[in-house]
Amino acid sequence: MDGTANSRAEQAVLHYVAAARPVQRLISATLTQVAGFALLLLTSRSRVSLAEGALAGAQEAAMRAAEEVRALAVPDIAAHHHHHLRGAAETLLQACAAASDQVRARSSDQGDALSSRLRASSDHLRTTASLLPGFELVDFGQACCAMHAPKRLLRDAP
């Protein structure tokens, strides 16, 4: 492979990363929003109606993310990354549908479906972070507050 072809391949990857990072952030933010809604569904039936507008917004964001993932120009080297980014977007759409189903049914029967789809989307997203540079996710376990929590708990113990 000559230097020109190598340079074109590198440029294609850089363009992919530049286009895919905002999509990954959208998926991550929407996943957080739907997970919060799921927590609300599990803990409080009376407040769910207040958050249904947020779920509708999350569904729109998930649809936009899925469309943007499909529209990405994917170089061969990024195919595995794109597979997981697409998986994260698709399972997020399924999570939104499961949350809507659970609200309509007014039961917790859909809770397993919702949580498994949220977990699947999160797993795909975590995998994207390890495949290409620039897609790292925030690890709250490494945050300064997480490091101090056990000390506080020990200090406050009776």
Helix (H) or strand (E) holding 76: none
The count of structural domains within the chain is 1
Range name among 12-16, 46-50, 83-87, 123-127 with the lowest pLDDT average: 46-50
* Rounded CA separation 13/26 (Å): 20
Residue 96 belongs to what domain range? 3-156
Q: Is the pLDDT of residue 36 over 70?
A: yes
Higher pLDDT, 94 or 157: 94
Q: Is the pLDDT of residue 86 over 60?
A: yes
pLDDT of residue 158: 43
Is the distance from CB of 78 to CB of 13 less than 8 angstroms?
yes
Supply the CATH number for residue 58's domain: 1.20.1420
132 dihedral zone (left: phi>0; alpha: psi -120 to 50; beta): beta
Burial class (CB in 10 A: 0-12, 13-18, 19+), 147: exposed
